[in-house]
Structure 1
Amino acid sequence: MALQWMILTYVVAAEAAIAILLTLPAPNLLKNRFVSLISLILQPALFVVPFAGFQLLDIYWKMEHRLLCTSDICTASERDRYEKSIYKAQRNVILCSAACILYWCIYRICKYYKDIESLEEVEKRLKKE
């Protein structure tokens, strides 16, 4: 199970780096090439959305079927283990949400750049006429 969270962590880190690189100022030629490269990668990278959704369902199922440790019968170590698992679940929910939101942001940024590029081409054509 830890491997899945490690993969998702690396994907979120890569998405964050790509989002930062997309928003940094750069020359138009370099920016257009980078946006086109990222646009090619976006379709295969869509796997992150159902993967994160499946992980969220897994977290939800585990939360529903978790043994509660709130009574006086529980020892201190059991209570600590219970609280640690709750914190891990909360962290993983944030990680899954971040993966989906960052993917959507990268998609929208690339779409905006392509729309701007097409509008610039239309403007050039209209100026020539």
Structure 2
Amino acid sequence: MALQWMILTYVVAAEAAIAALLTLPSPKLLKDRLVSLISLLLQPALFIVPFAGFQLLDIYWKNEHRLMCAGESCTASERDRYEKSIYKAQRNVILCVSACLLYWCVYRICKYYKEIQSLEEVEKRYKNQ
């Protein structure tokens, strides 16, 4: 189970790095190549959305079927273990949501950049006429 969260963590880190790379100012030729490369990688990377969705469903199911530890019947160690599992679940939900959100951000940045390129080409054609 920990391997899934490690994979998701690395994917989120990679998406954040790509988003930062796309938003940094750079020469036009470099930006063109970078956007085209990332656009090619976006479709195979779409697997992260259903993967994160499945992980969210898993967290929800485990939360619904988790033994509650409240009251006098719980020992201190059981209560600590219960709270630790709640914190882990909250962290993992944030990880899943950020994976989907960052994927969407990278997709939109690439799409906006391509739209700007096409508008610049149209403007160039009108100037030449």
| Same fold, TM-score > 0.5, yes or no | yes
Could you tell me which residue of structure 1 aligns to residue 74 of structure 2? 74
1:123 aligns with 2:123: yes
Q: Unaligned regions of 5+ residues in structure 2, if any? A: none
Aligned pairs for 1:50-69 within 5 A: 50-69=50-69
Partner Cα separation in structure 2 for residue 83 and residue 46 of structure 1: 33
* CA distance in 1 between partners of 2:33 and 2:59 (Å): 39
The answer as to 2:38 corresponding to 1:14 is no
- Cα distance in 2, alignment partners of residues 128 and 17 from structure 1: 39
Corresponding residue for 2:39? 39
Match of 2:103 in 1: 103
1:79 and 1:123 map into 2 onto residues whose CA distance is 65
**1:95 partner letter:** L
Distance 1:88 1:18 in 2: 26
User: Equivalent residue of 1:112, what SS?
Assistant: helix
Q: Number of aligned pairs?
A: 129
* Separation of aligned partners in 2, 1:114 and 1:75: 59
Please state how far the C-alpha of 1:15 moved relative to its aligned partner: 0.2
Q: How far is the alpha carbon of 1:71 from its aligned partner?
A: 1.7
Q: 1:101-125: CA deviations, max 9, x gaps?
A: 0000000000000000000000111
The equivalent residue for 1:91 is 91
The residue number in structure 2 matching 1:112 is 112
Q: Measure, in 1, the Cα distance between the counterparts of 2:28 and 2:3.
A: 39
Counterpart CA distance in 2 for 1:30 and 1:18 is 14
TM-score norm. by structure 2 comes to 0.99
Q: Identity across aligned pairs (percent)? A: 83
Separation in structure 2 between the aligned mates of residue 83 and residue 72 of structure 1, nearest angstrom: 16
1:31-88 superposed Cα distances (whole Å, 9 cap, x missing partner): 0100000000000000000000000000000000000000211100000000000000
The runs of at least 4 aligned residues of structure 1 exceeding 2 Å deviation read none
Shift of 1:20: 0.2
